Amino acid sequence: MKYYCATSSYEKSNIVLVGVPYDGTSSFRPGSRFAPNAIRENSDGIESYSPYFDKDLREKKICDMGDIPLPFGDKELVLDIVEKFSFKLIKNKKKLLSIGGEHLISFPLIKTFSKKYENLAVVHLDAHSDLIDSYRSEKLSHASVIRRISEIVGFENVYQLGIRSLNITDLNLPYRKDNLCLFNFDKVQDYVDKISSKPVYLTIDLDVLDPSIFPGTGTPEPGGVTYKELIDCLKKISVLNIVGCDVVELSPQYDVSGVSSIVAASVVREVLCLL
């Protein structure tokens, strides 16, 4: 099964969509490895046209390459496979949208993009800061992924929005008082102005949405943004030079209504429109 309208051949495509079904460090409620197929299945239930961006996916050349085949139980091998696979794609000048999976998948992806794009900026939408140095003695974890990414691209190049779950020591990390926006997206225009023409990697943890809208996630956090607020944020970000993106942390089995999977499929549509 492919994402709706993502039927272009790889050779003719400008945008490549790939699933990364990994949730090996999920610490509370695992299951995000089932997200890529749930998003594809539910994409059949939404229109190809985005009224928010006034664009239609039918007008874009998108290739859905399916899921990266990943082993179970060997985290370092998984990260290495994702890094090497993504490098081949961006080397061929494709814009890449990766669908997780848990948030740790962003680490090898951004590691790859940072090798190709000098002075890469990362825009991070999430309920959680993911800035702790290690979680249960694990330095490579969904809970520490942004800390590891900041060490690669520089703390000054990581811009966080919608955060409402963090450790107080996170606020003492470099540039966090300027580049961390609590609860909402109020700083997004300031970030856009600061980032300017830099290449940007956008990582969207779907639990940035309020659980009343998006309960199907491994670590739900009350007090989140609405879908419309998320779209308005994406519209402001769309003026940036976005070179890659991921959408992570749908765990479809925790929402028996299926609404969370539809929301995730819709977010993917909007991201495909802005790429």
Give the domain CATH number at 49.
Answer: 3.40.800.10
Confidence band for 128, pLDDT divided at 50, 70 and 90? very high
Separation between Cα atoms, residue 23 and residue 36, nearest integer Å: 12
Q: What is the pLDDT of residue 217?
A: 98
Residues of the binding site: 103, 126, 128, 130, 205, 207
For the chain, percent of residues with pLDDT exceeding 90: 94
**Average pLDDT of 66-80?**
94
Question: Is residue 157 included in any domain, yes or no?
Answer: no
Question: Is residue 39 included in any domain, yes or no?
Answer: yes
Residue 121 contacts residue 200 (beta carbons within 8 Å)? yes
Q: What is the pLDDT of residue 46?
A: 96
Question: Is residue 223 included in any domain, yes or no?
Answer: yes
Confidence band for 143, pLDDT divided at 50, 70 and 90? very high
Question: Is residue 8 included in any domain, yes or no?
Answer: no
Residues of the binding site for Mn(2+): 103, 126, 128, 130, 205, 207
Question: Is residue 37 included in any domain, yes or no?
Answer: yes
Q: What is the pLDDT of residue 11?
A: 95
Considering only 32-41, 72-81, 191-200, which range has the smallest mean pLDDT?
72-81
28 pLDDT exceeds 90? no
Q: What is the pLDDT of residue 135?
A: 86
Using CA atoms, how far residue 27 sits from 210, 248, 265, 268, in Å, is 20, 15, 24, 25
Question: Is residue 176 included in any domain, yes or no?
Answer: no
**Number of domains composing the chain:** 1
Separation between Cα atoms, residue 204 and residue 84, nearest integer Å: 22
Q: What is the pLDDT of residue 155?
A: 98
Query: H-type helices in 11-142, by residue range?
Result: 35-43, 75-91, 106-116
Please state, rounded to an integer, the average pLDDT across all residues of the chain.
96
Question: Is residue 23 included in any domain, yes or no?
Answer: yes
State the DSSP string of 127-168.
Answer: SB----S-BTTBSSSTTTHHHHHHHHH-GGGEEEEEE-B--G
H or E element in which residue 266 lies: helix 259-274
Confidence band for 210, pLDDT divided at 50, 70 and 90? very high
215 pLDDT exceeds 90? yes
Domain that holds residue 52: 15-128+196-274
93 pLDDT exceeds 90? no
136 pLDDT exceeds 90? no
pTM for the full predicted model? 0.97
Confidence band for 137, pLDDT divided at 50, 70 and 90? confident
Nearest to 36 by CA among 255, 249, 197: 249
Nearest to 105 by CA among 88, 130, 136, 135: 130
Separation between Cα atoms, residue 71 and residue 104, nearest integer Å: 15
115 pLDDT exceeds 90? yes
